[in-house]
């Protein structure tokens, strides 16, 4: 080995070490770059985790509330509440009651079951003036009458409220009276949210949403001034009928559908109605109130029938029961007037609370 070779050995070895160090530094730098230069986390060699499937909960179906109307006043109650579930004038189960001012309940003795606490919403008309100490629905009016109640407004309409109890079950109750509509809302429930939600749903409309009948009118109280008696009332071809019953000018109740067979029966009965008469039925002998006078709550009031046809047209027929002169009861369409018969009464949609015996007509 030459001196030049010996002298060159120590010079080449450091060069190789430097190269190794540079290679190591480059490898470390590359690994840091791949790791995002994160000196705090170790390199993760596990398989990447895929996101799990997205789970969307199906919303629970909540049926829309049912709305009941009286005198153009509406309230919302749960859809499953049955209507007018009464026994001897009292509800023993959860129900919504719609009570015309002319409603009459059978006289009987019924004791509520023990621990019965039904939820009850009562929408009813009353005979003015309001009687202090009386009972509206299941809630007693305070002895001081409206003066003892709290005044408020609903849609800018004056109303009075009172919180009391059902005297039979001692359940909490709230009473709302709207004198301008001659209407009350009485809600009995142990659940305050139930009472509050029904009371907060009270609203007023000028026309009944289901029938488009005006909630207040006296336009149908009198017969035509110059009636035509030489023709029948023809509503043949009608595909549907809506009935609106008025008492003292207020829309009391409505019926919005009839089967095809019942509709044909009603159309035939109206078309077969005979001439009017001035004779008086024997059953009316000695009957008080021979002077018809203004419409009163004891009067059944007019039933306004709107017959709808396939071409979109409509025809109105008004049916009017005249107390104490039942043979002079009548129906008219425009200026055509005919006599009201028992067959027409029986064929009417079920809107009249009471009417004369059809066999006596």
Residue 233 in any domain: the answer is no
Q: Which of 330, 335, 332, 326 is nearest to 355 (CA)?
A: 326
Q: What pLDDT is recorded for position 106?
A: 66
Note whether 191 and 273 are same-domain residues: no
What is residue 301's three-state secondary structure? coil
> CB-hemisphere CA count at 13 Å for 318?
20
Q: What pLDDT is recorded for position 72?
A: 92
User: Of 150, 178, 204, which closes a domain?
Assistant: 204
Number of domains in the chain: 2
Residue 128 in any domain: the answer is yes
Residue 186 in any domain: the answer is yes
Q: CA–CA separation, 117 vs 279, rounded Å?
A: 54
Note whether 183 and 282 are same-domain residues: no
Residue 18 in any domain: the answer is no
Residue 140 in any domain: the answer is yes
Q: CA–CA separation, 62 vs 231, rounded Å?
A: 53
Strand extents, DSSP E, 119-255:
120-125, 135-136, 139-140, 150-154, 157-165, 172-178, 183-188, 203-204, 238-247, 250-255
* Local confidence pLDDT in tens for the 361 residues of the chain: 444 443 344 444 444 444 344 444 444 444 544 444 444 454 555 566 666 666 666 677 767 899 999 999 999 999 999 999 988 888 889 999 998 876 766 667 766 666 677 899 999 998 888 989 888 998 989 999 999 999 999 999 999 999 988 777 778 999 999 999 999 999 999 999 999 999 999 999 999 988 889 999 999 988 898 999 999 999 999 999 999 999 888 998 777 788 999 999 999 999 999 999 999 899 888 776 544 444 445 556 899 999 999 999 999 999 999 888 899 999 999 999 999 999 999 999 988 877 888 999 9
Note whether 341 and 288 are same-domain residues: yes
Note whether 248 and 356 are same-domain residues: yes
User: Of 204, 227, 261, which closes a domain?
Assistant: 204
Range of the domain at 164: 66-105+117-204
Q: What pLDDT is recorded for position 87?
A: 84
Note whether 186 and 256 are same-domain residues: no
Please tell me the pTM assigned to this model. Answer: 0.71
Q: What pLDDT is recorded for position 29?
A: 46
Residue 141 in any domain: the answer is yes
Note whether 181 and 245 are same-domain residues: no
What is residue 254's three-state secondary structure? strand
Q: What pLDDT is recorded for position 4?
A: 42
Note whether 248 and 188 are same-domain residues: no
Note whether 76 and 181 are same-domain residues: yes
Residue 320 in any domain: the answer is yes
Note whether 128 and 243 are same-domain residues: no
Residue 59 in any domain: the answer is no
Tokens of 215: 């909630």
Note whether 184 and 300 are same-domain residues: no
Note whether 75 and 174 are same-domain residues: yes
Note whether 305 and 353 are same-domain residues: yes
Q: What pLDDT is recorded for position 21?
A: 44
User: Of 159, 179, 204, which closes a domain?
Assistant: 204
- Are 344 and 268 in contact by the 8 Å Cβ rule? The answer is no
Q: CA–CA separation, 170 vs 22, rounded Å?
A: 94
């Amino acid at each position: 080995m030459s001196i030049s070779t010996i002298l060159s050995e120590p010079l080449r070895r450091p060069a190789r070490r430097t190269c190794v160090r540079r290679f190591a530094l480059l490898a470390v730098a590359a690994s840091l770059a791949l790791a995002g230069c994160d000196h705090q986390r170790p390199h993760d060699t596990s398989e990447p985790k895929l996101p799990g499937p997205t789970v969307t909960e199906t919303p629970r179906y909540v049926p829309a509330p049912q709305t009941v109307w009286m005198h153009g006043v509406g309230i919302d109650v749960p859809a499953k509440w049955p209507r007018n579930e009464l026994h001897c004038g009292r509800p023993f189960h959860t129900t919504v009651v719609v009570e015309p001012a002319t409603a009459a309940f059978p006289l009987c003795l019924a004791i509520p079951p023990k621990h019965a606490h039904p939820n009850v919403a009562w929408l009813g008309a009353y005979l003015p003036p309001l009687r202090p100490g009386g009972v509206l629905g299941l809630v007693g009016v305070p002895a001081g009458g409206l003066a003892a109640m709290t005044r408020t407004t609903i849609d800018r309409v004056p109303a009075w409220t009172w919180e009391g109890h059902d005297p039979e079950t001692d359940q909490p109750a709230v009473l709302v009276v709207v004198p301008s509509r001659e209407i009350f809302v009485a809600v009995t429930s142990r659940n305050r949210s139930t009472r509050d939600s029904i009371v907060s749903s009270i609203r007023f409309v000028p026309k009944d949403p289901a029938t488009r009948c005006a909630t207040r009118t006296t336009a149908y109280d009198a017969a035509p001034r110059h009636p035509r008696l030489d023709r029948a009332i023809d509503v043949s071809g009608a595909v549907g009928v809506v009935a609106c019953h008025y008492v003292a000018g207020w829309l009391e109740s409505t019926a919005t559908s009839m089967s095809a067979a019942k509709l044909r029966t009603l159309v035939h009965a109206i078309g077969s109605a005979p001439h009017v008469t001035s004779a008086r039925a024997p059953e009316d002998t000695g009957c008080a109130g021979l002077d018809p006078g203004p419409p009163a709550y004891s009067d059944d009031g007019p039933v306004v029938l709107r017959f709808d046809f396939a071409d979109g047209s409509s025809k109105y027929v008004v049916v009017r029961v005249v107390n104490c002169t039942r043979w002079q009861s009548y129906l008219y369409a425009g200026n055509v007037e005919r006599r009201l018969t028992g067959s027409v009464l029986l064929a009417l949609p079920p809107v009249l609370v009471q009417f004369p015996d059809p066999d006596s007509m």
